[in-house]
Amino acid sequence: MDELEKSWKTIYIIWIAMLIALFVYMLVGLSLEDKMDISIEKSILNIIRYVVYFISGVVVFSIKYVRNFILSSKNSMQGSDVISNNPAAFNYIKATIASLAMAESVAVLGLVLFILGKNKVDLYLLVFISAISMIIYRPFREQMVKFAREMNGQN
């Protein structure tokens, strides 16, 4: 269980750092607002906006399935000694990082859309959706311990 505790602390720190990065994206975007002059035709910008929102929706919707897929793949341990010697912790960390990265990509899309269109609502909304997704799919200690017990029972 000591290995699980160390892995838990690692993934929790990663989660906090990725959550803080969302605010950095907002600060960067708002600080660049007056410094960048990108002119895009309104109709093209609207198409880009629809595409970005569609992609964001697909990403948020698919996080659960990607996470479950990674958690169900119990035999892919390549690189596990770098992060954790515990196979359950390693799979849990992989699944959590993939989930958080997918959620964070929504904020990155929001930043790009804001830089292109200078619409603060796009930035705030997509960062908010990203933050909510990161909170929903945050790491849970109990979930990691339960997953480790289930994996150890199968081995």
Q: What is the mean pLDDT of the chain?
A: 86
pLDDT recorded at residue 81: 47
Task: Spell out the domain ranges in the chain.
Answer: 2-154
pLDDT recorded at residue 80: 47
Tokens of 19: 């959550």
At 14-58, the pLDDT tens digits run 999 999 999 999 999 999 888 877 788 999 999 999 999 999 999
Residues with Cβ within 8 Å of residue 6, at least 6 apart in sequence: 84
For the cut 60, the answer to whether the pLDDT of residue 77 exceeds it is: no
The CB-side HSE value for 43 (13 A sphere, CA atoms) comes to 0
pTM of the model: 0.83
pLDDT recorded at residue 59: 97
